[in-house]
Structure 1
């Protein structure tokens, strides 16, 4: 069964507006050789490929991968036709609401139910579905139950959590001000006095609760700002800093920023980092696989050599299925343990609220993406990682690498 994934922000959009992100006008259904179907807008085409805009971005799809193309009726056209099909009466609006429910138009369904009771305030089925109840001679909204009273222990825990949130918010505000007033105003000129003044302020930060603010705010900046982000995160030994450095090493678009994150991870000598990077070698997203190899090379992870050897060479066209949610979950489970922080001199428990470097609007990484690409024949990143780890260079000769590895003492 073919599934569609709606943008996370669809929940807060006005009714009907999110439909514009599902299938643009003139959309088509493209059937591929591998059995997948893609619905999107063919923006242009060359002799060999289609440029297709999907919900999550634009891809280049080779023509020889497409078996069949079919027009796809945009959902708002179906909605418009259905709205005209039902009469403008209370019963007609109610039947239209049921059609909306069956076809997944939740916002339009509630609007149709409200239209029912505007036309007939005593239309009971619509009242019931809207959660209204009869109070003597009038309809009222069902009262919401009062929240349960918290125990003293739960109230104290909630107060602690609120104190931590307030402290993080203060750091977000402060670091955002440094970024906008000093770091961003210099363009890409790291040598300017204004940028250096902002850099000094950032590097003076030692509060553990500033880590999520550092990662979330600075990860949305340009490359110099993100290099500074890695520099200051490297000063913190806490797991939350390690978590963000691993995410940056795997997902930041800049090779230099990723390299610096890998260098910052090396002195930590954290076995969990190596384990997570080795797991990332199994990613079906080519960029993550290559970035993980580079990071393992920077760390000098000898135990990763058997994982790297079979990845030296790959050939053929691949339809890449993105598995970032699994990657993010793995990172989160590995590094999200509690720590004790001081707020106003009082020790409090603190849990990282999220991988701050992956917050909405940042450029380090996104949760959802899609790629259809022709894979390189040889992965130079894997070769370079093996050279850095072993000090040997057998090129892309996997057999030679394996012979050498078998001759080494058992590890």
Structure 2
């Protein structure tokens, strides 16, 4: 064999770099015929620590193919871009720009595997090589280069089925996927009833509502929550009352699931009344678990429900939820490098001594200002930014007499997205603590913890009040 290279295990990029970048020996592309059928085009490299085995590196594969020598029927040398590449990489300067340029050439020749190797090497040599970072699929965010997936995670999203969604949306999607065959049948029937209720004649609407209210099968709970939970207030009120009549733990879970996400106070109070009336022992633990969720609105509604149920045992869990650290994405303006002349805005002082303002060829483009993340929603804004800010050219101010003297000034600031933490004070949690304890220590978590250690006495089971709340 004409090559003798060692390439074992490890990341494919490291292996490919060792064979294709670190080597200085002779190599070329081959047409490799595999016994039993099939042909590969690439470089054949023996594996020194596995006698009788070879690796075949191709232009596009993410990993080398491994074969026994006796599986290779014939190797036919052939001309390909790999020949030229192997010559180029032997003389390449070990600098970020040189590796990046070779990576671009590899892309033009269809050698995507070696292209990634050289873009990766460029980033190793210069972490701030923006063009190479972008070739690797990374974006500059919050002062560092991260992948697209990492950026989505910072924005509070999670992956589901190849798509980035909010945690609440993922939870809903998972529930839909868990539906049994019986639940799917109920889902089809409920869809028809909801359509009739929303679009039918008055008599048909009344009949659809009556049929909805008569549902008491536990298998219908998940379809009811998924279908009616996204409808208007009227249907959500029917849903709350309907779940209260279904005697099954799934109905309790459904009420808690809806309550902590419900924005309408009347609907939420109806759900709380149903939970109080049922007196199920699993409800309070479910609500307490909601206090650890990252969504402050969801935490606040759980605290409100615990106070309404008189759940004094929740006090130790409410105190840590008083103040939470949240994150939000903001766009800030940061200084750019000072440059002189070129396109931009100029101030000219002529013979009269008066300034005359003028604009060069600097059109503006819309630039996203970054997402504002809130529970269950992401909003984007935009602002107009002159193109010269992104070409590295700043604002020149022409100052002088008739002779015209030019002096550069710093370029205008450029927008940059950053993630900033902030402390969120949960009003509903404080209100729940005051209602359950009769104390008002504000948002001083340390003071609440001292009070908890010295004065808090949870009531015995027989002393706890009945968990009833005023009817709406």
Tell me the TM-score normalized by structure 1.
0.42
Which entry has the higher C-alpha Rg, 1 or 2?
A: 2
More contact order relative to length (CA 8 Å, sep ≥ 6) = 1
Tell me the TM-score normalized by structure 2.
0.37
